[in-house]
Amino acid sequence: MKLKSLTIKNFRAYQSETKIGFDELTTIIGKNDIGKSTILEALEIFFNNQTVKIDSSDANIHSTIKTVEITCEFTDYPAQLSIDTSSPTNLKDEYLLSAENTLVIKKRIDCGKKTPSVEIFIVANHPTEKEVSNLLELKEKELQAIIKSKSLDSKLKGNPTMRKAIWDSVGDLKLQTVEIPVSKPKEDAKRIWEQIDGYLPIFALFQSDRSSSDSDSEVQDPMKAAIATAMSEVQKEINDIQQKVREKAEEIANNTHNALKEIDENLASKLDPKFNPPTPAKWNGLFSIQLDTDDGIPLNKRGSGVRRMILVSFFKAEAERRLKSSSKQNIIYAIEEPETAQHPNNQKVLIESFKSLANESDCQIILTTHSPGLASELPIESLRFVYHDSGNLKIEQGEDVFPKIAQTLGVTPDSRVKVLFCVEGPTDVDALCSLSKAMNNKYPEIPDLTNDQRVAFILMGGSTLKHWVNQNYLKGLGKPEFHLYDNDVSTYQQSIDQVNSRGDNSCGQLTQKLEIESYLHKDAVNAGFNIEIEVPDQLNADGKATPRIFAEAYSLKVGLPNPIKDTKAKKFLAERAFPNMTAEMIEERDPNNEVKGWFEKINELLN
């Protein structure tokens, strides 16, 4: 399951209902004490209520209402639920999805009590027609009575099957968005929630101001996350154990029930065995890991910089491990201010690890920061800006908030820039940097764009904040531009013609091959992924371009049920194939020296 959005109401500074959307990588930006951490802590309370626990002081202090609402919206929910072995069901058939076909779960917490109590609801587009609005709360005999009263098939077995037949028999169900209580014992509504609860993503929160104790530190939390991740990857074995225990326990309960029938038939009718397996949190709590450093010194006794280095190492190792594995349960890593106590080089390692992890289909990353250095390296589509507006907290995203973000964080254009290199997207930047570095190794006069501060990439599509700032501020400085676009869109030629007609020393061209990935050497792909593929100059005989060819080969190798999307394939190739390119590989794939010509033109504009 993937987290699509969080909505909080009356929680701390967020008095009015406030919604924030999430992608694979999401970065929450704002001034200190603006409410960034509150968002992560609301998620921690929703998923775990452990590292941060809800208490009576969490209701908004300006509100007379003491009820807090935390609502999470999910996609990629389970296709099937098994609450009745004879009649499997799904969320759609049970009318437990929103009008947008998402799964919305609300936790309403009463903070007016010394120990807050929690009620759980599924907010769904559900039948409100009076006679069929409460079918999830009815027992088997009650459903059978409705089946009989409607003269439906009396042979129908299983609650889900009977509910579907009853709903199908009604002309107008009067579907409306309603809250369906699922936390209290109400027959299948409760059972469905227990099933959903087991599919919720693992949520691991890393706070920036954690105390240095053995039980709760920057060190221990990554290890706790490691245990939770490991448990998710043996979930099948755990389910098998639980199923065997269930079967044995129910066998004993049924034998007891049958024996009781022989003693008192009336009393026996009141027995109904219910099996309640341990929650994932209880399984995780059975295990722990402790780390000691040199000479047996506990890691929590080391300096904060060293402890936070464990965080860097954890995410670097996890990014590399998940690239090689095929874990199925989603995990959300939420990290407050990952730049804390870290050298800039380590921050770059973290950023690259976050990007790699976010590329994985089963992983989401949520960051908070007020660091210009960190934010400027992250994709602009990942940014969420938190700010005050007329006394209320608001969260925005999109191009309109970029000036506010740049002003708040102090992101400014680099005065060293002399040439603007305009390309389509971030994977083009990574690819061109790798190609320039390879050519620079053989031809020193060619600039190495991985570290040449005189060249600023301008992304005509997606971007990072620093690229956007450069685009919007440096354009007015009269810097020459070199535009390079893929040859896969016919309208791009018109844009290139306009650039070449400016007369301001700017110029541009289309790639002769289909796209930047068409210049890859198959050996570079093999070195990065141990996968043999063809790399056509245009489309292959099946009408497929290099990213699609790679996506299908990669997905088959790692055992994914469906091929990854082309956008993810491009990211993978940019990060792990293009860095393996050498000048010799480039010249073999490009005998006309087109690639070399791009960088020679950049060098000409620089000089």
pLDDT at 128: 95
595: pLDDT strictly greater than 60:
yes
Contact 506, 482 (CB under 8 A): yes
Range of lowest pLDDT (204-213, 375-384, 400-409): 204-213
pLDDT at 269: 60
Contact 40, 47 (CB under 8 A): no
- Split at pLDDT 50, 70, 90, the class of 214 is very low
pLDDT digits (tens, 9 = 90+) for 254-285: 777 677 677 666 655 655 566 666 666 566 66
- Percentage of residues in the chain having pLDDT higher than 90: 45
216: pLDDT strictly greater than 60:
no
46: pLDDT strictly greater than 60:
yes
Range of lowest pLDDT (388-392, 519-523, 599-603): 388-392
Range of lowest pLDDT (11-15, 218-222, 331-335): 218-222
pLDDT at 307: 60
Cα distance between residue 52 and residue 207, in whole Å: 10
pLDDT digits (tens, 9 = 90+) for 231-241: 766 777 777 78
- Percentage of residues in the chain having pLDDT higher than 70: 78
Residues 6+ apart with CB under 8 A from 18: 7, 8, 9, 393, 394, 395
Over residues 44-58, the mean pLDDT reads 91
pLDDT at 172: 93
Cα distance between residue 217 and residue 223, in whole Å: 10
Average pLDDT value over all residues in the chain:
83
pLDDT at 97: 97
Cα distance between residue 535 and residue 548, in whole Å: 11
Contacts 24+ apart (CB under 8 A), 530-539: 530/557, 531/557, 535/589, 537/513, 538/513, 538/514, 539/514
Higher pLDDT, 584 or 346: 584
pLDDT at 600: 96
Range of lowest pLDDT (204-208, 331-335, 535-539): 204-208
Contact 472, 436 (CB under 8 A): no
493: pLDDT strictly greater than 80:
yes
pLDDT at 415: 72
Contact 13, 19 (CB under 8 A): no
pLDDT at 337: 84
213: pLDDT strictly greater than 60:
no
- Split at pLDDT 50, 70, 90, the class of 219 is very low
323: pLDDT strictly greater than 70:
no
Cα distance between residue 189 and residue 256, in whole Å: 27
pLDDT at 218: 43
- Split at pLDDT 50, 70, 90, the class of 377 is confident
Over residues 466-474, the mean pLDDT reads 55
Beta strand 175-181 with 25-29: parallel, antiparallel or unpaired?
unpaired
pLDDT at 226: 66
Over residues 310-339, the mean pLDDT reads 68
Over residues 521-534, the mean pLDDT reads 96
pLDDT at 30: 87
Dihedral sign from CA coordinates of 550, 556, 560, 562? positive
pLDDT digits (tens, 9 = 90+) for 147-206: 999 999 888 888 999 999 999 999 899 999 999 999 887 788 888 998 899 889 888 888
pLDDT at 284: 62
Beta strand 392-396 with 383-389: parallel, antiparallel or unpaired?
antiparallel
- DSSP assignment of 180-228 equals EE-SS--THHHHHHHHHHHHSPEEEEE-SS----SSSSTTHHHHHHHHH
11: pLDDT strictly greater than 70:
yes
287: pLDDT strictly greater than 80:
no
Residue given tokens 């009745």 in the structure block: 84
Q: Give the torsion through C-alpha atoms of 154, 156, 158, 161, to 10 deg.
A: -120
Range of lowest pLDDT (361-375, 450-464, 537-551): 450-464
Over residues 104-112, the mean pLDDT reads 96
Over residues 575-596, the mean pLDDT reads 96
Contacts 24+ apart (CB under 8 A), 598-601: 598/432, 598/482, 598/484, 598/509, 599/435, 599/436, 599/439, 599/446, 599/447, 599/449, 600/446, 601/482, 601/507
Residues in the chain: 607
